[in-house]
Amino acid sequence: MTQRSAEYQPLFRPQDKRRVLVVEDSKTFSIALRQMIEAETGLKVTSCGCLKDLSTAILRDQEGYAIAVVDLNLPDAPNGEALDWTVSHGIPTIVFTGTFDAATRTRIMEREVFDYVLKDSEFALGNLVGSVKRALTNKETRILVVDDMTTTRRLLGQMLTSQQYSVVEVGSGADALMMLEQDQEIRLVVSDYNMPDMDGYELARRIRRRYPAEQVRVIGISSSTDRTTSAGFLKAGAHDFISRPFVLEELQCRIASNAETLLRMRLLNDLAWRDYLTGLFNRRYFFERGPKMVAEARRASQPTCVAILDIDHFKLLNDEHGHDVGDDALRIFADHLGTSFEGHPHLLARLGGEEFALLLPGMSESAAAMLIEEVRIGIAGLGMPVRHVNLGLTVSIGLAVMSATDSLDLALRKADRALYAAKQAGRNRLNA
């Protein structure tokens, strides 16, 4: 199966400086909603109780809203005028309404809102906050739409774009496979059944052979009245099926369900691959991913270097100041390492204790030594205030360049011998 680098990208963490706009005339409900949204997303909320306040807020900061939550019926906007304001200003909008019938649904869906939530149960507030979170995380999901009919393909793409997904479109199965190779961020493939070069079943089978389910999920679509079409897609490796013409809410829910499953899988993988203390990758991930990165560099005829970094006198630090201070020092040290290697292709992991491993694919020994030496000097000059102590940590580093036949284990043993020599020579130095 093909390994996709996007699997290792950071998950969504709310760092958006924009705000959430809440338009609701009930002060009690507005306060509760604001508190929940801010607690669960990290974004600040601007609250408006009427159309006049809404128009003022939008005109003052039109580009500053990530999402709007709008009560459909306000005292000074009883016919959805507030919704018209947010939609016309390009703000993705979630509608919250206590009255709902066929005419209301049509009025809402015509405006291509992100979602609507009914005020019909004690779960309504939680559902609303969940919808806000989906609107923010959907931006992290890239969807490939495959259909040989340009009009239908673009219509589906428009529906998904209104849901804040990132959308790519192609017109054939062969183009879909090529796009998956080129675009490592694609997470969902939505494919029609009838296509000229290969049908949707064959495309699903080929995708499943190349990519595991936790990396790419497939959803089949078809306007066929043959009820076995859905079974054919599922047997071929697809995860879901949607009949056309679409019921928009069904489309939204099925896509959202698959996107959420992928996100949960990534969260579980992240927990399995991350060191609990520092947040860096752990030993298991280093030895799983590292050999693949080495192989990729070799196929490109590029050199690869590996280094082991060990904090000097760390046992003494723990003995003198306690393990809590030692843990804090490890976190600060790891943060500094992570920042120092940003912008360079690398794999950084905590192997255990105070020992860290670094893989630098595509980097020569001289370039790696120069970069790592800068990091060592930076650490030596970095005062680390940890609780009541200002620590001055240093690090010893062993560096090895991999030969064409070296395994990662062998290269690490070379780096470990170089590290031992650095410590024997007085510590706080790089040895290659």
Place of tokens 């609701």: 24
Helix axes 323-340, 314-321, angle to 10 degrees: 140
- pLDDT of residue 44 exceeding 60, the answer is yes
Name residue 18's amino acid: R
Q: What is the pLDDT of residues 255-267, one digit of tens each?
A: 999 999 988 888 8
Q: What is the pLDDT of residues 131-182, one digit of tens each?
A: 999 988 898 899 999 999 999 999 999 999 999 999 999 999 999 999 999 9
> Cβ(290)–Cβ(359) under 8 Å?
yes
Which residue segments constitute the domains of the chain, with CATH numbers given?
Answer: 11-137 (3.40.50.2300), 141-273 (3.40.50.2300), 281-431 (3.30.70.270)
Question: What is the average pLDDT across 366-373?
Answer: 94
Q: What percent of the chain has pLDDT over 70?
A: 95
DSSP state letters, 201-215: HHHHHHHHHHS-TTT
Name residue 80's amino acid: G
User: Is the alpha carbon torsion for 96, 26, 47, 34 positive or negative?
Assistant: negative
Q: What is the pLDDT at residue 5?
A: 43
Question: What is the average pLDDT across 99-109?
Answer: 86
Name the residue with higher pLDDT: 61 or 199: 199
Whole-angstrom CA distances from 128 to 83, 95, 100, 120 are: 16, 9, 16, 12
Q: What is the pLDDT of residues 385-422, one digit of tens each?
A: 766 767 788 999 999 999 989 999 999 999 999 999 99
pLDDT bin (cut points 50, 70, 90) of residue 423 is: very high
- pLDDT of residue 15 exceeding 70, the answer is no
Q: Cβ atoms within 10 A of the Cβ of 131, count?
A: 19
Q: What is the pLDDT at residue 239?
A: 95
pLDDT averaged over every residue in the chain: 89
**Run of H or E residues at 328:** helix 323-340
- Residue 327 CA, chain-centre distance (Å), reads 27
**Can you tell me the distance from the alpha carbon of 229 to that of 219, in angstroms, rounded to the nearest whole number?**
12
Whole-model pTM over 0.75 = no
- pLDDT of residue 85 exceeding 70, the answer is yes
**Between the ranges 98-112, 322-336, 357-371, where is the mean pLDDT highest?**
357-371
Provide the CB-side half-sphere exposure for 139 (13 A, CA): 11
pLDDT bin (cut points 50, 70, 90) of residue 63 is: low
